[in-house]
Amino acid sequence: MMKNIYVLCGGRSPEHEVSLVTAMTIINGLNKQLYRVVPVYISREGCWQPLEPVTHELASVEELRAQTGSTVSAASSAADFLARLAADGDGGACVFPALHGEYGEDGTVQGMLELLNIPYVGNGVGASAASIDKTMTKKIAAAAGIPQSEYLYFHRQDWEQEEAQWCQRIETLIGYPCYVKPAKLGSSIGISCCANREELVVAITEAFRYDGKILVEQEIKGREVQLAVLGNERPVCSVAGEFVREADFFSYEKKYESGTLIKRIPAKLSAPVYEKLRAMTLSLFRALDGSGLMRTDFFVTDRGDIYLNEVNTLPGFTKNSMFPVLWEKTAGTTYTQLLDRLIELAMERHAGKQVTALQGVEA
């Protein structure tokens, strides 16, 4: 019997459009001989709409953008879908959350699926929730002994009450240039590089449009190097990759709209530096209790010093994104094979949880 793969896409996050691109590529890459592929569009308002099973090649993300209707509430539409999903049961369904950012990559959807006992691709509740919050990731990384740049974080109320004091703290501890980031957002949305106080105030105001907590980091002069992880209890790490580009801020436009990015895989690293990166990547994966997949990004200076930049539990996933290309270069894994492997890992983790639950009942 064909397994139903429900691909969640869209969502309430500012990364809604990026999610649709990811989902379209995943849907086109899935083996339709093995899976019955059902897109589930989630509107910007949070309404859920399962679409018809896809048997053809999607030509545009517009094929995923359903009209949910103004009279349908987010709660009732989600309940209808979850009832359908629960009816599949007994291993007949697996969810592939192709959702970036909050309300999808942050543990919320994962927790809902755990309650329904439905297998899903990717990281669990804890890893998703910790990794989406850059400040939590930094604390866990520090406990694991992974170096990182100086940083400060604060909430909107802190800024409103003590704007001048926070500017002074940033200038004293971090200095310029510095980076201002929403704590819980990806794809470089809401991130700014600041060279003085005037730019800093503008950047903080912009970042608070996306999150009530923001992070300010010291700039590290170095190349950004990325590594990919696959696995559950026995994770494996890819070779390292990097984008050949100028050493400036990697904006949303450069990531998704320039069309001129060139990858260098393997990255230009000495063997000892790569081994350090690999060890740190696997250590952080375990510290976060990762499962399925993860991408870690580091800065490497000319002296070979290493600093963590960020962790991504649902990295960019088009065929040209760094994560799938790293696995193609590491093990010859095709995009379709990578999707198969992620579904296998999801089912493996789910089966393990069933054994643990049964043993708990028997005890």
Q: 15 an active-site residue? A: yes
- Helix/strand/coil for 249: coil
Q: Are 180 and 192 in contact (CB under 8 A)?
A: yes
Q: Is 233 annotated as a binding residue?
A: no
Residues 6+ apart with CB under 8 A from 202: 192
What are 28's two structure tokens?
A: 């086109």
Per annotation, catalytic residue among 128, 187, 238, 291: 187
Active site residue 128: no
Q: Which of 84-102 are b and which e, b meaning 16 or more Cβ less than 10 Å from the residue's Cβ?
A: ebeeeeeeebbbbbbbbbb
Q: Is the previous residue joined to 235 through a cis bond, with omega within 30 degrees of 0?
A: no
171 annotated binding-site participant: no
- The H or E element spanning position 231 is strand 223-231
Burial 121-160 (b: 16+ CB within 10 A, else e): bbbbbebbbbbbbbbbbbebbeeeebebbebbbbeeeebe
Q: Position 253: which residue type?
A: E
Is beta strand 213-218 parallel, antiparallel or unpaired with respect to 151-155? antiparallel
Asked if residues 48 and 42 have their Cβ atoms less than 8 Å apart, the reply is yes
312 DSSP β-pair partners:
295
187 is catalytic: yes
**312 among annotated binding-site residues:** yes
Full 3-state SS string of 170-230? HHHHCCCCEEEEECCCCCCCCCEEECCHHHHHHHHHHHCCCCCEEEEEECCCCEEEEEEEE
| Marked catalytic residue, from 13, 15, 102, 192 | 15
Segments in the chain forming alpha helices (H) = 16-29, 74-88, 108-116, 125-132, 134-143, 156-161, 163-173, 197-207, 252-256, 271-287, 322-331, 335-362
User: Which of 128, 131, 238, 321 is the catalytic position?
Assistant: 321
Q: Which segments of 72-133 does DSSP mark as H helices, in order?
A: 74-88, 108-116, 125-132
The Cα 219–Cα 92 span in angstroms is 48
Angle CA(238)–CA(240)–CA(241) in degrees, nearest 5?
Answer: 120
Write out the binding residues for Mg(2+): 297, 310, 312
Catalytic (active-site) positions: 15, 187, 321
- Binding residue positions: 297, 310, 312
